[in-house]
Amino acid sequence: MLAVRVDEFGDPSVLACVEVPEPVVGPGRTLIEVDSAGVNFGDVLVRWGEYFGRRALPVVPGWEVVGTVATADPEGPFRVGDRVAALLDGNGYAQRVAAPTEDVAPVPGHISDQVALAMVIQGATAWRLLETLSPGERILVSGAGSGVTHLLIQLARQRGAGEITVVSSSEEKAAHVLRLGADQAVLSDGDGSLRDRLADQLERKVDLVIDMVGGETLEAMLRQLRPGGRAVVYGVAGGTPTKISTGALLKNGWNVSGLWLGHPGSLSFQEILAELFELSRSGRLNPTLGPVLPLARAGEAHRAVEARTGVGKVVLDCRPA
Ligand SMILES: NC(=O)c1ccc[n+]([C@@H]2O[C@H](COP(=O)([O-])OP(=O)(O)OC[C@H]3O[C@@H](n4cnc5c(N)ncnc54)[C@H](OP(=O)(O)O)[C@@H]3O)[C@@H](O)[C@H]2O)c1
């Protein structure tokens, strides 16, 4: 079968579409014939060899697929031919994958591959980031071009959030998040500091900060967190983690936590996806969709994600040509 493999870390040209051995399905695994694989920002870090110190080569990137069950797990709920989505521990850019059965979920016929893939990691992350949200709470979130942010804004609105403010790197992305339901956007670059712009634009401090950029962005956002407020960190896209003093935590009574989708939450992956698919079916949750490219053009897909042009969910078509 074909897969896209990285044999040396580097720019998108290192993504090579090659013949690889079939995956082996053991206990607790479901073999999926992949129709489409999602491309995520983290895949770019894997390709550069910068994903949380993971440096083993060769590596097949990809953490999410949609396809049909080819070999069912005898202990699992699925049958051969079922249409499913899966959250993987890697190896997703391939024509077949062996997925952990506990992270396989059914996909209704009315949900397209691209929408399903936008929900697997981005949607489930957005859902989990809002797990503690109470109606009326004011949110400050970074990454106006992020697929997670786009879904989070819509979910937060439905859950009765108060004012939603988004930090944006461009006017165009700012306009997009306002269309999705954000109340205001603050530009990350421009005259003066983000810290001052946030202080100028926010009338009151916020209850919840949600960040995936890190560095000075999170530092500036924390300045706007009210005493006793919460901050959730789920990425470091800017490449520099933020240093937060324990003195500041103590003095402000802040609760700062991290979110990692792979860790268990209050609902299972299947339960979260079922809710997200239903919201999508009823038109209440609309991911921003980007290009669909053949598996062999994974390099182009990575260039689109890395360019930060706000292209939306990028997907690889893995069906045989
Ligand atoms: N913890 C978890 O379980 C989990 C789950 C999903 C995603 N994530 C992380 O969450 C982040 C967003 O994921 P996504 O799927 O929404 O990605 P996405 O749609 O590809 O968007 C990428 C985001 O990263 C921002 N970004 C990229 N390079 C940057 C830089 N050098 N400085 C500042 N911002 C930069 C982009 O900024 P613009 O807004 O300017 O375009 C955009 O907001 C990624 O870091 C990803 O790894 C973590």
The pLDDT tens digits for 275-311 are 999 999 999 999 999 999 999 999 999 999 999 986 7
Domain total of the chain: 2
Q: Report which protein residue has its CA nearest ligand 1's atom 32.
A: 238
Q: Rounded CA gap, 182 and 140, in Å?
A: 10
Q: Rounded CA gap, 280 and 270, in Å?
A: 15
Span from the CA of 234 to the centroid of ligand 1 (angstroms): 9
Query: What average pLDDT score do residues 172-188 get?
Result: 97
Atom of ligand 1 nearest to the CA of 188: 40
Mean pLDDT value across the chain: 96
Q: Are residues 186 and 274 in the same domain?
A: no
Query: Which amino acids bring their CB within 6 angstroms of ligand 1?
Result: 40-42, 121-122, 125, 143-148, 169, 173, 212-213, 234-235, 237-238, 259-261, 305, 308, 310
Q: Are residues 93 and 187 in the same domain?
A: no
Query: What average pLDDT score do residues 230-246 get?
Result: 96
Query: What average pLDDT score do residues 223-240 get?
Result: 97
Residue 190's pLDDT band (cuts 50, 70, 90): confident
Encoded amino acid at 89, one letter = D
Residue 181's pLDDT band (cuts 50, 70, 90): very high
Atom of ligand 1 nearest to the CA of 42: 47
Is the pLDDT at 161 greater than 90? The verdict is yes
Residue 148's pLDDT band (cuts 50, 70, 90): very high
Q: Are residues 242 and 288 in the same domain?
A: no
**Residue 302, CA distances (Å) to 91, 169, 240, 291 in order:** 16, 20, 21, 11
Span from the CA of 23 to the centroid of ligand 1 (angstroms): 29
CATH of the domain at 207: 3.40.50.720
Written as six digits, the tokens of 81 are 């031919």
- With b for 16 or more beta-carbon neighbours within 10 A and e for fewer, the 153-173 pattern comes to bbbbeeeebbbbbbbbbbeeb
Q: Report which protein residue has its CA nearest ligand 1's atom 41.
A: 145
Query: What average pLDDT score do residues 181-206 get?
Result: 96
Atom of ligand 1 nearest to the CA of 258: 1
Q: Are residues 206 and 119 in the same domain?
A: no
Query: What average pLDDT score do residues 172-196 get?
Result: 96
Q: Of 124, 131, 127, 47, which Cα lies nearest the Cα of 86?
A: 124
Stated pTM of the model: 0.97
pLDDT at 53: 83
Q: Rounded CA gap, 203 and 294, in Å?
A: 47
Q: Of 52, 91, 92, which Cα lies nearest the Cα of 314?
A: 92
Span from the CA of 76 to the centroid of ligand 1 (angstroms): 33
| Phi/psi of residue 317, nearest 5 degrees | -85, 115
Q: Are residues 216 and 175 in the same domain?
A: yes
Query: What average pLDDT score do residues 198-213 get?
Result: 97
Q: Are residues 254 and 136 in the same domain?
A: yes
Which of 234, 258, 282 delimits the end of a domain? 258
Span from the CA of 212 to the centroid of ligand 1 (angstroms): 6
Q: Rounded CA gap, 196 and 2, in Å?
A: 51
Instruction: For 123-137, write each residue's pLDDT tens digit.
Output: 999 999 999 999 999
Which of 236, 258, 280 delimits the end of a domain? 258
Assess contact for 303 and 281: CB atoms under 8 A: no
Number of CB atoms found within 10 A of residue 179's CB: 10
Percent of the chain with pLDDT over 70: 100
Span from the CA of 135 to the centroid of ligand 1 (angstroms): 26
Q: Which domain holds residue 226?
A: 132-258
pLDDT at 111: 98
Query: What average pLDDT score do residues 191-212 get?
Result: 96
pLDDT at 315: 98
Number of CB atoms found within 10 A of residue 233's CB: 20
Q: Are residues 93 and 210 in the same domain?
A: no
Q: Is 296 exposed, middle or buried (0-12, 13-18, 19+ CB in 10 A)?
A: middle
Span from the CA of 129 to the centroid of ligand 1 (angstroms): 14
Instruction: For 34-62, write each residue's pLDDT tens digit.
Output: 999 999 999 999 999 999 888 899 999 99
Q: Report which protein residue has its CA nearest ligand 1's atom 21.
A: 146
Percent of the chain with pLDDT over 90: 96
CATH of the domain at 309: 3.90.180.10
Q: Are residues 174 and 243 in the same domain?
A: yes
pLDDT at 171: 96
Atom of ligand 1 nearest to the CA of 309: 41
Atom of ligand 1 nearest to the CA of 128: 3
Q: Report which protein residue has its CA nearest ligand 1's atom 9.
A: 235
Q: Are residues 151 and 253 in the same domain?
A: yes
pLDDT at 191: 86
Cα-based angle 88, 177, 149 (whole degrees, multiple of 5)? 25
pLDDT at 88: 97
Q: Are residues 242 and 273 in the same domain?
A: no
Q: Is 6 helix (H, G, I), strand (E, B) or coil?
A: strand
Atom of ligand 1 nearest to the CA of 45: 47
Q: Are residues 145 and 182 in the same domain?
A: yes
pLDDT at 52: 85
Span from the CA of 108 to the centroid of ligand 1 (angstroms): 28
Instruction: For 91-117, write each residue's pLDDT tens digit.
Output: 999 999 999 999 999 999 999 999 999
Span from the CA of 74 to the centroid of ligand 1 (angstroms): 37
| Phi/psi of residue 68, nearest 5 degrees | -120, 150
Which of 240, 258, 276 delimits the end of a domain? 258
Residue 236's pLDDT band (cuts 50, 70, 90): very high
Q: Are residues 152 and 110 in the same domain?
A: no
